[in-house]
Structure 1
Amino acid sequence: MRSSARGAAARGARRPGLRIAVPALLLAVLLAFPGLLPDRPGHLGSLAETALPWFGAAVPVLLGWAVLRRSVVGTAAALVPTVVWAVLFLPGYLPGGDGARSDFHVLTFNVGGERTSPAEVARQVIGTGADVVALEKVPASAMPAYERALSAAYPHHVTANTLGLWSRYPVRGSASLDLGGAWPHAVRALVGTPGGDTAFYAVRLPSVRVRADAGFTIEARDRSAAELADRVRGDRAARVVLLGDLNGSLRDRGLAPLARQLTAAQQEAGRGPGFTWPAAFPLVRIDHVLLRGLRATGSAVLPDHLGSDHRPVLTGLRGSGGAHTT
Structure 2
Amino acid sequence: MAHAETEQPGTGGPEPGSSGWRAGLRRAIRSGTRPEPWKRSPVLTALALLLGLLMLLHAWITDRGGLGSLVETFLPWFGLFVPLLLAGALWRRSASAVAALLLPVVVWGNLFGGLLIDKSRPGSDLTVVSHNVGDGNPDPVGTARDLAASGADVLALEEITPQAKPLYEKGLAKAYRYHTVQGTVGLWSKLPLSDIEPVDIQQDVGPLGDAKPVDVKMAYNRALRATVATDQGPLTVYVAHLGSVRVMPRTGFWTDSRDRNATALAEALAAERSERVVLLGDLNGTMDDGAFDGITSLLDSVQAEAGDGFGFSWPARFPVARIDQILVRGVEPRSSWVLPSTGSDHLPVAAGISW
TM-score, length basis structure 2: 0.85
Q: Which residue of 2 aligns with 1:25?
A: 49
Q: Which amino acid aligns with 1:234?
A: A
Q: Which amino acid aligns with 2:354?
A: R
Matched, 1:280 2:304: no
Asked whether the equivalents of residues 40 and 93 of structure 2 are also in contact (C-alpha less than 8 Å), the reply is no
Q: Which amino acid aligns with 2:55?
A: L
Higher mean alpha-carbon deviation, 63-72 vs 207-216, is at 207-216
Unmatched tracts of structure 2, length 5 or more: 1-24, 204-211, 213-219
Q: Secondary structure at the match of 1:199?
A: strand
Distance in 1 (alpha carbons) for counterparts of 2:231 and 2:85? 52
Q: Which amino acid aligns with 2:52?
A: A
After superposition, where does 1:40-51 map in structure 2 within 5 Å? 40=64, 42-51=65-74
Q: Which residue of 1 aligns with 2:304?
A: 267
**CA offsets per residue over residues 239-278 of structure 1, 9 Å max, x none?**
1000010000111111111111100010111111110000
Distance in 2 (alpha carbons) for counterparts of 1:69 and 1:48? 29
Q: Which has the larger radius of gyration?
A: 2
Residue 211 (structure 1) shift: 3.3
Q: Secondary structure at the match of 2:335?
A: strand
Matched, 1:125 2:150: no
Higher mean alpha-carbon deviation, 141-150 vs 101-110, is at 141-150
Asked whether the equivalents of residues 313 and 319 of structure 2 are also in contact (C-alpha less than 8 Å), the reply is yes
Asked whether the equivalents of residues 17 and 72 of structure 1 are also in contact (C-alpha less than 8 Å), the reply is no
Picking from 210, 217, 220, the partner of 2:247 is 210
Q: Which residue of 1 aligns with 2:350?
A: 314
Asked whether the equivalents of residues 142 and 343 of structure 2 are also in contact (C-alpha less than 8 Å), the reply is no
Q: Which residue of 2 aligns with 1:324?
A: none
Q: Which residue of 2 aligns with 1:38?
A: 62
Asked whether the equivalents of residues 301 and 327 of structure 2 are also in contact (C-alpha less than 8 Å), the reply is yes
Q: Which amino acid aligns with 2:242?
A: L
Distance in 2 (alpha carbons) for counterparts of 1:207 and 1:18? 41
Asked whether the equivalents of residues 140 and 343 of structure 2 are also in contact (C-alpha less than 8 Å), the reply is no
Distance in 1 (alpha carbons) for counterparts of 2:29 and 2:154? 76
Q: Which runs of 4+ in 1 moved over 4 A?
A: 1-7
Unmatched tracts of structure 1, length 5 or more: 320-326
Residue 15 (structure 1) shift: 5.0
Q: CA RMSD in A?
A: 1.7
Distance in 1 (alpha carbons) for counterparts of 2:139 and 2:195? 29
Picking from 148, 154, 168, the partner of 2:190 is 168
Distance in 2 (alpha carbons) for counterparts of 1:114 and 1:218? 22
Residue 8 (structure 1) shift: 3.2
Matched, 1:89 2:112: yes
Distance in 2 (alpha carbons) for counterparts of 1:145 and 1:6? 77
Picking from 231, 243, 249, the partner of 2:268 is 231
Q: Which residue of 1 aligns with 2:33?
A: 8
Q: Which residue of 2 aligns with 1:323?
A: none
Q: Which residue of 1 aligns with 2:75?
A: 52
Q: Which residue of 1 aligns with 2:3?
A: none
TM-score, length basis structure 1: 0.92
* Alignment length (residue pairs): 315
Asked whether the equivalents of residues 300 and 313 of structure 1 are also in contact (C-alpha less than 8 Å), the reply is yes
Residue 151 (structure 1) shift: 1.3
Asked whether the equivalents of residues 203 and 244 of structure 1 are also in contact (C-alpha less than 8 Å), the reply is yes
Residue 7 (structure 1) shift: 4.6
Asked whether the equivalents of residues 103 and 194 of structure 1 are also in contact (C-alpha less than 8 Å), the reply is no
Distance in 1 (alpha carbons) for counterparts of 2:327 and 2:320? 20
Distance in 1 (alpha carbons) for counterparts of 2:84 and 2:93? 14
Distance in 2 (alpha carbons) for counterparts of 1:180 and 1:135? 18
Residue 95 (structure 1) shift: 1.2
After superposition, where does 1:73-222 map in structure 2 within 5 Å? 73-97=96-120, 99-181=121-203, 182=212, 183-222=220-259
Residue 6 (structure 1) shift: 5.0
Q: Secondary structure at the match of 2:175?
A: coil
Q: Secondary structure at the match of 2:101?
A: helix
Residue 158 (structure 1) shift: 0.9
Q: Secondary structure at the match of 1:115?
A: coil
Asked whether the equivalents of residues 295 and 318 of structure 1 are also in contact (C-alpha less than 8 Å), the reply is yes
